[in-house]
Structure 1
């Protein structure tokens, strides 16, 4: 009898992955769109510039051999050290760029259901090709002195990418265990609106992990969310439990083979949604 019970437990299938996303209104090359991005928005979005921005993000996040290490390893370590623990967790990286952080999480936790969300189709196309389709990339990095390296991709079955706004996510209420966002809140027109949306999609007790240099593009961002104590105060007023607050979390972004770089002083924090 005990053997039959054991066999039954071992044969229980894993929960399906990728099923949190409802049918999209449209798609391009396997990237579902949950926001109807107009042609004017495509033209105005600098993150849709493949040769300029996507190749630069690819060099930073997917070409460790160019730098002898992952340049943003301190950021990856911070996220890893504060990730929730368990089986079959549902995790989303909002503002995922070319998918490095959520790709590594999905690769290390095969029972998890992982999602990468971004508003740039070109970033998501690159991420999908590399992490899901297993394509080898050959980005043209000659202008930075790195040539055209070949980057071998993955074929992860527990990772999905989708185009959506960070403040309007395509997930049901209380469906995610963890929401990650990096280098995002300073790019949003209304930074605090996103926190309410992330609270909506997180389960009770779910975890929010954020890191941002707070390099706001618009004056409203500086007025609303700087200095960082304004963010801390807002989260506490909304009932979040602050589990960690690190300021600064220094990061260095290499720019070329010569060693020129940009230094970022990020604010990183972990907040849990009330149970």
Structure 2
């Protein structure tokens, strides 16, 4: 049975927010095909990172997040709707970061709806970032090879968003100044991190007072130690509230179906979704 607890209703920001700068990102360590690097990713890290596998994972993520016509709509629309209900009025300038942004669908949706805002899509996978940048910023037409899934080679026409920026960085070591972001979102991320609960302190650092964090995760942890530290979810909330976070919303589960092929096979993700704010 799905349980949905709301402790605070969504509301517009009541504080005066100064105009968002063009970019909060400092000078990068390096730049590779328009993608600034804020982590010196070694060749060994590239080799070991499964999310750098273009034909396997980047193509799958492209089909899932950018090829709505193949699925009769966006498969993760319920996820997008959950995030959008926490956004303020479209003319409110915000600084927003999507951590673990993949090919940038959620970050781009916010950038489109919030033209006065600056949105940052951060990921540790260069290949994911390059795909997202080509599609959402450069306006490239993508033609992913989805033949192995029965979908063929769809042509996906890109966009040219000027308020969306992609960068390579660790979610636990962000390049943003202290108290510089109004909103952070992360989806399908915390259970991939080496220390899932440790990242929240970094996110608290970069959020402005009153800033919001939106987290959605299946909590499908990779390590036994993470299961011990963060399962059941009550352990996550105990640490957050102990660190001064205020829980505004909790939905458990938010069910998401990820299509696997043209026949309609799918993986069902039983995600935990919550919104927390800094006092």
Q: TM class, shorter-chain normalised?
A: over 0.9
Q: Please identify the structure whose Cα radius of gyration is greater.
A: 1
Q: Does 1:43 align with 2:51?
A: no
Greater displacement, 80-89 / 202-211: 80-89
Q: Does 1:62 align with 2:66?
A: yes
Name the SS of the counterpart of 1:165 in structure 2.
coil
Q: Using a 3 Å threshold, how does the CA distance of structure 1 residues 15 and 82 change in structure 2: closer, same or farther?
A: closer
Q: List 4+ stretches of structure 1 deviating above 2 A.
A: 14-18, 83-86
Instruction: Assess if the C-alpha contact under 8 Å between 1:18 and 1:114 holds in 2.
Output: no
Figure out how many residues of one structure are paired with residues of the other and give that number. Answer: 261
Partner of 1:166: 171
Greater displacement, 78-87 / 34-43: 78-87
Give, in whole Å, the separation in 1 of the partners of 2:88 and 2:170: 24
Give, in whole Å, the separation in 2 of the partners of 1:44 and 1:224: 25
Partner of 1:223: 228
Partner of 2:15: none
Unaligned 5+ runs, structure 2: 1-17
Q: Deviations over 1:55-78 (max 9, x none)?
A: 000000000000011000000000
Q: Does 1:119 align with 2:127?
A: no
Greater displacement, 80-89 / 212-221: 80-89
Match of 1:20 among 13, 20, 24: 24
Give, in whole Å, the separation in 2 of the partners of 1:148 and 1:160: 27
Give the helix-richer structure, 1 or 2.
1
Match of 1:190 among 191, 195, 198: 195
Query: Aligned ranges for residues 83-232 of structure 1 at < 5 Å?
Result: 83-85=87-89, 87-232=92-237
TM-score by length of 1: 0.93
Q: Deviations over 1:114-152 (max 9, x none)?
A: 000000000000000000000010000000000000001
TM-score by length of 2: 0.92
Partner of 2:11: none
Q: Deviations over 1:134-186 (max 9, x none)?
A: 00100000000000000010000000000000000010000000000000000
Partner of 2:33: 29
Name the SS of the counterpart of 1:78 in structure 2.
helix
Q: Does 1:248 align with 2:233?
A: no
Q: Deviations over 1:8-35 (max 9, x none)?
A: xxxxxx9465420001010110000000
Give, in whole Å, the separation in 2 of the partners of 1:57 and 1:181: 16
Q: Deviations over 1:76-100 (max 9, x none)?
A: 0000012244611110000000000
Instruction: Assess if the C-alpha contact under 8 Å between 2:251 and 2:272 holds in 1.
Output: yes
Query: Aligned ranges for residues 252-267 of structure 1 at < 5 Å?
Result: 252-267=257-272
Name the SS of the counterpart of 1:82 in structure 2.
coil
Q: What's the C-alpha RMSD, in Å, of the aligned pairs?
A: 1.1
